[in-house]
Structure 1
């Protein structure tokens, strides 16, 4: 009875966030999105390092593991594919309780803005048509164009979680994490291999558990951004293969888009000490609320909404 009581007491004292994985997006030869004065990789690394410093102070019982701490591809990889695999393997083999990827958003258009043309009127122009003896003058109406500046105005935050309808992919990652063997990437599309039906069922059960926790933390992060005056585009599920780490990590995992590096004002905020400090504070507050919810046994994810 004494032994069981001791084990029970130890289990209760074990931190719910024993290990947190911090993943600064991109790095090295993969700069990510380009702003006017910085790259996504540079901003993500700076915010991530500050996040780690504050978490070390606020959650001293948690072990912090970075996928990279300098401007290189994680794990000394020479290509993006291997770097992505390293991120997931590191998280899974470290038995992380939480995976947080830090990124910046971007539109498909030029950072800051671009010049476009529009028709402001028409004019008559004399042109020659035909050849030889049939050549003659012809008056035609042609448009008059004006160049104007289009500002890149898209801004705001959003936090991604792994999509609920990809339980097979997530479940396979969780099963691999349990055996500490890392991920097996089947092909260049990064689709994870699904094995036995039993493994899929088991993975789906775990996936539902991690989905709820991921949704909870992502919602809290966006709530904290809104409290700080940021425009929040909410929590979104990712069905695309691009966010590989959300599929491949066997733990609650989120990817935070801290703002649009292609927006002039928001990029200035993202590179500033004030902006980065505020972002870090907001994410840490969300993590502390998430931790308190886990310790209290409550996770009101049923009332949360996820954008498509």
Structure 2
């Protein structure tokens, strides 16, 4: 690359950086940092999600989400709240799970949300309550034939004897997901699809082509910022769960299909696994008024801490120990998310 092209590239990046960060500051003075919050109750309709002994993930997610919306309306009255569904149906009354996922993301992007929070329950893929496993309790001799033709002969082998036994399905705890870092390109496309880069940062000259190199750089800058903000909020959520006495399995990244909405929404986004519906005691907790009220209060507190942090206030992050003993990367998230 010659010096002239290098200068043009540097100038382009510098101008875009000024537009992004100066524009963000100017807009922050005109509207709340959480002007629009998208609440996404997972599953619904033909997609009931994980099954417990007495209920489903879809039912619990909807109940917690509606209570979360009610609490946020009281605590953050300046924020507009949008639900992807409010009944036991897939969003938009659709009958196709894939289409419903796109509907959720499109709804959030068209609303130019400042935050997307999905509510789910977890499962370990085994039968709720208890399941049956097998173990070896002894051996017995069995005669088998080996070889062919003139070489065919009898052989005695030792064969294991199995018995089935009941195992309590005891996997439990909370997890909060953000989109996987290797999917940031998809996130950039989602950010660009909002037309205003998710935070409604206006281009006053109306000259920024969304397909131009400037727009691509701008989206990349927002990808990094949204990743940091998502990590920050996710860490706050798990921190509040721990304070409430829950077992935190930490903040995680995942590429699975059910997490697709996180990378398809052009804004900071998290997915909260509020507990394992397949564990008897945790399912009872998730279904109870007390449990749901506590979960909602903890998420609301985390969102308020996140809002304070975005506004430049003090919102210290404490490390959250997960089930594997790996702490959530709280200090890095706090530093990155303060922009």
TM-score by length of 1: 0.82
Q: 2:224, 2:249 → 1: CA distance? A: 24
The corresponding residue for 2:254 is 238
TM-score by length of 2: 0.75
Deviations 1:86-134 (A, max 9, x none): 11111111111111000011112121221122121234578999xxxxx
Q: 2:110, 2:181 → 1: CA distance? A: 23
The corresponding residue for 1:292 is 308
**Secondary structure, counterpart of 1:282 in structure 2:** helix
| Residue 303 (structure 1) aligned to one of 331, 334, 339 | 331
Q: Residues 30 and 241 (structure 1 numbering): CA distance in 2 closer, same or farther, change over 3 Å?
A: closer
The corresponding residue for 2:265 is 249
Instruction: Check whether the contact 1:24–1:44 (CA below 8 A) recurs between aligned residues.
Output: yes
Q: 1:168, 1:24 → 2: CA distance? A: 25
Instruction: Check whether the contact 2:229–2:333 (CA below 8 A) recurs between aligned residues.
Output: no
Q: How many residue pairs align between the two structures?
A: 284
Q: 1:286, 1:294 → 2: CA distance? A: 12
Q: 1:11, 1:142 → 2: CA distance? A: 72
Q: Residues 116 and 63 (structure 1 numbering): CA distance in 2 closer, same or farther, change over 3 Å?
A: same
Pairs within 5 Å for 1:49-128 = 49-123=66-140
Q: 1:84, 1:170 → 2: CA distance? A: 15
**Secondary structure, counterpart of 1:154 in structure 2:** coil
| Residue 278 (structure 2) aligned to one of 247, 262, 265 | 262
**Secondary structure, counterpart of 1:110 in structure 2:** coil
Instruction: Check whether the contact 1:168–1:200 (CA below 8 A) recurs between aligned residues.
Output: no
The corresponding residue for 1:279 is 295
The corresponding residue for 2:43 is 26
Q: Residues 144 and 294 (structure 1 numbering): CA distance in 2 closer, same or farther, change over 3 Å?
A: same
The corresponding residue for 2:60 is 43
Instruction: Check whether the contact 2:228–2:333 (CA below 8 A) recurs between aligned residues.
Output: no
The Cα shift of 1:140 comes to 6.5
Output the aligned Cα RMSD: 3.1
Instruction: Check whether the contact 1:95–1:177 (CA below 8 A) recurs between aligned residues.
Output: yes
Q: Residues 54 and 139 (structure 1 numbering): CA distance in 2 closer, same or farther, change over 3 Å?
A: same
**Secondary structure, counterpart of 1:296 in structure 2:** coil
Q: Residues 281 and 142 (structure 1 numbering): CA distance in 2 closer, same or farther, change over 3 Å?
A: same
The Cα shift of 1:168 comes to 1.1
Please, which runs of 5 or more residues in structure 2 have no aligned partner? 1-24, 147-152, 198-209, 318-329, 335-339
Q: Residues 199 and 147 (structure 1 numbering): CA distance in 2 closer, same or farther, change over 3 Å?
A: same
Pairs within 5 Å for 1:91-170 = 91-123=108-140, 141-170=158-187
